[in-house]
Structure formats: C-alpha cells, structure tokens
C-alpha cells in the first residue's frame, strides 16, 4: 500500500512538471517579442496553455493564458492603396502582449501593447498584409473589430 501511494505521488508530480514545463514556450518563441525580423516572417510559432474565443467576420475575441510566440490572426488583401479602421480593447494580467500590423513591405506597425483600448486607422498598400498577436509569458484577453473598405478582403488565418 505504501509503495502504491508513493508511486501515484511521484507520477502526479511528474505529470505536473511535464505540463508546466511543456506549456512555457520554446526558447525561439520567447525570443520573438522584441525581434521585428522574426515577427515579420511569414510563419507562426506559439504556445498557449489556454486559448478560448473566436476570430471570424472581422471580429476577434480571445481569452488566453501562458501565451508565448506569435500567431497570425488575419491576412488582408488590398486591391489598391486604402485605409483600414480598427477598434481594439485588451486587458493583460501578466507578461508582455501586443498586436501588430505587417504591411506588404514587412514594415511593422504596433496596433496595441499591454492593456489598452482605442481605435486607429491604418494605411494599407496594395497587396497582402497581416495582423499578428505577439506574446511572452502572457495572459489576458483581447477584442479587435476591423472595418474594411470595399476594395479590401480580410481572411481569418486557419486556427
């Protein structure tokens, strides 16, 4: 009986260790937050412990914890130079969090960082742009609403 109790205690501790270490993000993911070259890259690399919410119909509402890395949430195709209005609201309970816009030339514009509420209008160049979430050991929630003009197509990145 003593051995069984000891076995289950050890097993429980190992499971907890694996779970907490495995959900903290890789060294590469942790290095992304301050590296614009990595953020502007086409690929995504991220870890979430929890990610609940939706990205659909030009609206995003996500609650998250232990997020590290970068995730593309929108791909934007503009038929010509135009404008895109964005409303946003974020509440960050820990860590570093930002939302960025990456234009067709890979120039990065910060939409929000940390806990912030507001709106902005982005200048879109003809071609393909992206919006990404970027985090480092962060938790919180974010809401984004996009208001595209007629010559803009917004596609949600497949989750």
The tens digit of pLDDT for each residue in 131-148 reads 999 999 999 999 999 999
Q: How many other CB atoms sit within 10 Å of the CB of residue 13?
A: 10
Instruction: Name residue, tokens 């990404």.
Output: 132
Q: Is the pLDDT of residue 83 over 60?
A: yes
Distance in angstroms (rounded) separating the CA atoms of residues 103 and 121: 13
Give the pair of three-digit tokens for residue 54.
């939706």
pLDDT at 2: 66
Beta bridge mates, 52: 63
> Domain spans of the chain?
27-156
The conformation of residue 28, written as its DSSP 8-state character, comes to: H
Using 50, 70 and 90 to split pLDDT, how confident is the model at 25?
low
pLDDT at 14: 58
Summarised one tens digit per residue, pLDDT across range 28-76 is 888 899 999 999 999 899 999 999 999 988 999 999 999 999 999 999 9
pLDDT of residue 57: 84
> In this structure, which topology does domain 27-156 adopt according to CATH?
Jelly Rolls (2.60.120)
Q: What is the pLDDT of residue 156?
A: 85
Phi, psi at 105, each rounded to 5°: -95, 10
The strand pairing partners of 60, in sequence order, are 55, 144
CB 144 within 8 A of CB 86: yes
């Amino acid at each position: 009986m003593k051995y069984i109790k000891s076995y289950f205690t050890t097993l429980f501790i190992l499971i907890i260790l694996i779970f907490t270490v495995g959900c903290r993000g890789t060294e590469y993911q942790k290095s992304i937050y301050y590296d614009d070259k990595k953020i502007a890259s086409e690929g995504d690399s991220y870890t979430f412990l929890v990610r609940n919410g939706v990205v659909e119909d030009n609206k995003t509402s996500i609650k998250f914890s232990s997020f590290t890395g970068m995730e593309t949430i929108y791909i934007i195709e503009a038929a010509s130079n135009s404008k895109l209005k964005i409303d946003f609201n974020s509440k960050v309970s820990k860590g570093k969090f930002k939302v960025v816009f990456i234009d067709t030339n890979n120039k990065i514009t910060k939409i929000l960082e940390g806990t912030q509420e507001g709106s902005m209008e982005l200048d879109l160049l003809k071609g393909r742009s992206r919006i990404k979430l970027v985090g480092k050991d962060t938790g919180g929630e974010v809401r984004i609403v996009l208001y595209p003009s007629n010559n803009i197509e917004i596609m949600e990145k497949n989750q």
